Amino acid sequence: MRAILLLVIVAVLCAAALIRPKIGMLAYLWFALMRPDYLAYAQGQYPMSSGLAVATILGSLIYLHRVRNLFRNPFTLGILVLQAPILASVIFAVDPTIATPEYWLYVRLIIMALWIPLVMETIEDLRWMLLVMAGSLGLLGIKFGLYGVLAGGVRYAQGYGGFLSDNNCLGLALVMAVPLCWYAQHLLKYRWLKLACIATTVLTVAGIVMTHSRGAAISLVVTFMAIAWHSRHKALVLVLLVCSSAPFVYLVADSYSERISTLTDIEDDTSAYARIEYAQAAIRMWMDYPVFGVGYGSTNWSRLSFRYLGRADRHVVHNTYLQMLVDSGFFAFAIYCAVLFGAIIWLGRSLKQVRGNPAMEAVPAAFRCSLIGFAVGSAALSRVDFDLAYILLAGSAAWYIIRKEAPLPAAEALPAPALTPALVSGLQPLAAKGTPMWLGRR
C-alpha cells in the first residue's frame, strides 16, 4: 500500500515536472534527500528517482539558453572541469571494468546537480529549495531523533539507505541538515512554523548524538560555531545550540563518552588507528599513480590496498580528500578542494553584502554552514559521491548567478515564494526591518 501511494505521488510530480520544471527539481531533491522509497519498503523496485530526473530535464529544456551561465560561474565551471580528470581516472584505471559502474552513477548525480542553476533562476526559487531540503532531511532528523529520545537513548549502528548507508554517513547528513533547518525559520511567517523549525533542529541534533559518530560529533561542534559566528548574538546562540545537545548526550552518556574518549588515545582504538593506516597507505599508493590515480570509485583502491597495508583489507580510505586523491589523481583532488573551499569562502563574502536582511541571509548562510559541516566531517569518511554536497555546491552556483544578474541592496524586502496562495500566506518571509516575527507577538 505504501509503495502504491508513493508511486501515485511520484507519477503526479512527474506530470507536474513536465509543465513546471521547478516543481520537478524540488520533487527530485525531496526524493534524493529523504528517500521515501525506503520508508515505503520499495527501494530498488521502481525507477522513481530516474523518472523524476527525466521529467524534470524534459520539462526544463526551455532553460537551455542558460547553459552559458555554467561556463561563467566559478563553481559550476569547477565541477565541469573536475569531470575531465575523473573521466581520465576511469579510462586509465588499474581495472576500468570495476570503475565504470560507479562512475555512471556519479555522472547522473553531476548532471542533476548542474541542472539546479539552470532551473533555479530567482531568489524565490532558492528559498523554496532551502525549505524543501530542510523539510526532507529534517523529517529524517525527527524520525531518528524522536525515536532515540522516546527509547531513552539508543545507538544507531546502521544508516538509513542511499547516501545514508551507515551511521557515519547518517550522522554527517544530519549535521549538514542542522543549519538548513535552523535558517529555514527566517523564511517563515508564522510563529508555530518557526518553532517547528527550531524543534526539528533540536531533534536532528538528537539523531546525530544517537549515531555515536565521532566525525559527526566534531563536525557538529564546528557547525554550531559557524552558525553562531553568523548570528547577531554569537555567544547566546552558541550556548543555546550546545545546550540543545546536552540532554541527548546525557541519555547515552556512558556509551557516547566511551566512544568520544577514543579521540584522545587513537592508538588504543582499533577503528581510529586503522584510519591513520589507510591514510598513510593512500598517500603511498597515490605516489605510485600520481596523475590519474588508480581509478574512480574506491574499488580499485580496495583491491590494491593489501600491497600498502601488508594485509588484505576491503575498507575505503575513510577520508574524502585522500579518496579523491588516490582514486582520480592530483588534479581531481586540487579542483575538488578548490570548488568546495572556494564556495565556502565566497558564500562568507556574499553574506556581508546582504547583512541585516534575515530573508536574504538565510540561503547563503545555510549553504555555507552546511558545507563547512561537510568539509570537516568528510575528513573522517570517504564520500566523494555525497549527493548533498554537490546539491549545496550547485545551489551556491545558482546564488552566484542570481546575485550577479540581479544584485539587490541588503535592506530590500523580497517577495514571498508563490506556488499557491494558501502556502504563500504561511511562508511569507520576514521584512528587512523591524523585530523578527518569531521574537515578537502575533
Question: For the segment 28-46, what is each residue's pLDDT rounded down to a tens digit?
Answer: 999 999 999 888 888 878 8
Please name which of 434, 433, 351, 343 lies closest in space to residue 392, comparing C-alpha atoms: 343
Q: How far apart are CA 242 and CA 180, in angstroms?
A: 17
Burial class (CB in 10 A: 0-12, 13-18, 19+), 86: buried
Q: How do residues 356-413 score in pLDDT, each as one tens digit?
A: 777 789 999 999 999 999 999 999 888 899 999 999 999 999 999 998 876 554 444 4
**Reported pTM:** 0.88
Helices marked H in 306-386: 306-309, 320-353, 358-377
Q: Which residue has the cell 527539481?
A: 25
User: Residues 89-104: what's their mean pLDDT?
Assistant: 94
SS3 content of the chain, % helix, strand, coil (to 5): 75, 0, 25
Name which of 58-62, 98-102, 248-252 the model is least confident about.
Answer: 248-252
